[in-house]
Amino acid sequence: MDRIPSCAHPIEPFYQPLNNEEALFEQAWHHGMPVLIKGPTGCGKTRFVQHMAHRLKLPLYTVACHDDLSAADLIGRHLIGAQGTWWQDGPLTRAVREGGICYLDEVVEARQDTVVVLHPLADDRRELFLERTGEVLKAPPSFMLVVSYNPGYQNLLKGMKPSTRQRFVAMRFGYPPVADEERIVAREAQVDNALAAQVVRLGQALRRLDQHDLEEVASTRLLIFTARMIGAGMSPREACMACLAEPLSDDPLTVAALMDVVDVHFG
């Protein structure tokens, strides 16, 4: 959980627009609407939010959601120390007070009773209730609530309730088209266009194996890692083993099958 605002990064986080996502996000912010971003692992959801926070010049509080995330982790709690008891705001409360963005990554991983505290912020009330202090915080116009999750991991126990989902403007992300992904890999890995294109072609081939006992296909993030390692001097086969095959599967036979594809492209 990042409780330190990454307020407008001094250097703008690189993001390659693919459609009208920037305009949609900005319009949602302008009209006080929360945003839900759906997409697979490593497709750029978090980078997009960082980019938009920089573009809108807003502090950004990011929370990585998990099973044990409580409402107090988001809102805040009373702490006890040598000087007595004091209240410490959580990241959601700080974002509301400062008029920034609170981004809940993989929100479906959080408990439903935790997600419910978002409801008054995600509708026309735009209010946060601090039960333990008796405060009712009215979100300023610049505050924005953003959540994301991977629909591929959804199941009956870890889905977003319709009563929550229908409070958001929703955006669906996917992996970029080939030409865009090549530009992203070249820029992020700091490698030449030829190597980026070769790694992306490999990634495309690996994604066609999505029925080969893989929970996830090769993400853009993994392709960047791979290109960065090769660009730094590691052999392509070692880089692909460490950055693609092993992260994608624990099964030795599946890893071997993935490496067969690597050998075709880098053999």
On whether the CB atoms of residues 78 and 85 are closer than 8 A, the answer is yes
pLDDT digits (tens, 9 = 90+) for 33-52: 999 999 998 999 999 999 99
pLDDT at 54 over 90: yes
Q: Give dist(CA 32, CA 141) in Å, integer.
A: 7
Q: Would you call 233 helix, strand, or coil by DSSP? A: coil
Q: Give dist(CA 105, CA 37) in Å, integer.
A: 9
pLDDT for the residue 3: 41
Q: Which CATH architecture has domain 20-172?
A: 3-Layer(aba) Sandwich (3.40)
Q: How confident is the model at residue 4 (pLDDT cuts 50, 70, 90)?
A: very low
Retrieve residue 51's tokens: 């980019």
pLDDT for the residue 1: 46
The count of C-alpha atoms lying within 13 angstroms of the C-alpha of 263, restricted to the half-sphere facing its C-beta, is: 6
Q: What integer best gives the mean pLDDT of the chain?
A: 90
Which amino acid, one-letter code, is at 17? P
Residues in the chain: 267
Give the residue from 50, 52, 42, 56 showing the smallest Cα distance to 106.
42
pTM: 0.88
Positive/negative CA dihedral, 5, 7, 12, 17: positive
pLDDT at 139 over 90: yes
Average pLDDT on 177-199 reads: 96
Average pLDDT on 200-217 reads: 84
Question: What percent of the chain lies above the pLDDT cut of 90?
Answer: 74
**Structural domain spans, the chain:** 20-172, 178-266
pLDDT for the residue 81: 78
